[in-house]
Amino acid sequence: MPPRRPQLNEDGPRVNEQIRAREVRVINEAGDMLGVMTPFEGIKMAQAAGLDLIEVSPNAIPPVCKILDYGKYKYEQQKKANEARKKQKVIEIKELKLRPTIGDHDYQIKLKQAREFLTDGDKVKFTLRFRGREQSHLDLSLKVMRRAKEDLADIAKVEQDIQSEGRQAVMVLMPAPKI
């Protein structure tokens, strides 16, 4: 069974005297391999260069350590994390309300808005509200939802099909995966 490796510190990688391995693979600041040695020898080399010995890959056998400026290393890691956070897209659900007796022009405007939302990567929730006797003609009313589903089939995929809930019907579409 291979020796158990201690976990990283909560605040980042082990530095200098915190490194507990018997031997480590050391890489200098230029990226050249210096070889396998004891952490003590690595720390001496780092201090001679005025830098720190940082454990960058603790799970490797032997662990990989680099001779770097610790403050600069932490700053670079934080910058990478911020860049990754910026590139994430939060998917929102946009709601469009329809009526069973919606006019054709109004329907086209709602469809245009739905296309815009879907191309931006957001989900679209269609809500169809019923008033009075409209509920007794449910099949005719749901034609508007089915029509929207068919008109957006080229750029959207149904996440939640048409469901009737009391005096309203709901359908959720999501952007179709890009091929």
Which of 87, 102, 136 is a domain's end point? 87
Let me know if residue 9 belongs to a domain. Answer: no
Let me know if residue 148 belongs to a domain. Answer: yes
Q: What is the rounded distance in angstroms from the CA atom of residue 120 to the CA atom of residue 23?
A: 52
Q: Give one DSSP letter per residue of 30-83, joined into a string.
A: TS-EEEEE-HHHHHHHHHHTT-EEEEEETTSSSPEEEEE-HHHHHHHHHHHHHH
Q: What is the rounded distance in angstroms from the CA atom of residue 36 to the CA atom of residue 143?
A: 72
Let me know if residue 62 belongs to a domain. Answer: yes
Pull the structure tokens for residue 40: 């003590």
The answer to whether 34 and 27 have CB atoms below 8 angstroms apart is yes
Which of 40, 62, 87 is a domain's end point? 87
Let me know if residue 46 belongs to a domain. Answer: yes
pLDDT in tens, 25-54: 999 888 888 889 888 888 888 888 889 899
**Of residues 2, 19, 3, 115, the one with CA closest to residue 65:** 19
Which of 63, 87, 111 is a domain's end point? 87
| 61 and 101 both lie in a single domain | no
| 82 and 97 both lie in a single domain | no
Task: Give the sign of the dihedral formed by CA 6, CA 9, CA 15, CA 16.
Answer: negative
Q: Phi/psi of residue 144, each to 5°?
A: -65, -40
Percent of the chain surpassing pLDDT 70 = 93
Q: What is the rounded distance in angstroms from the CA atom of residue 153 to the CA atom of residue 130?
A: 25
Domains of the chain: total: 2
Three-state DSSP state, 87 = helix
What is this structure's pTM?
A: 0.54
Domain range holding 113? Answer: 93-175
Question: Domain holding 121: CATH number?
Answer: 3.30.110.10
Residue 143's H or E segment, with its range, is helix 143-151
The answer to whether 88 and 43 have CB atoms below 8 angstroms apart is no
Residues of the chain with pLDDT under 70: 1-11, 179
| 102 and 141 both lie in a single domain | yes
| 99 and 71 both lie in a single domain | no
Three-state DSSP state, 108 = helix
The answer to whether 123 and 172 have CB atoms below 8 angstroms apart is yes
| 66 and 39 both lie in a single domain | yes
| 155 and 99 both lie in a single domain | yes
Question: Domain holding 49: CATH number?
Answer: 3.10.20.80
Let me know if residue 4 belongs to a domain. Answer: no
Let me know if residue 5 belongs to a domain. Answer: no
Let me know if residue 146 belongs to a domain. Answer: yes
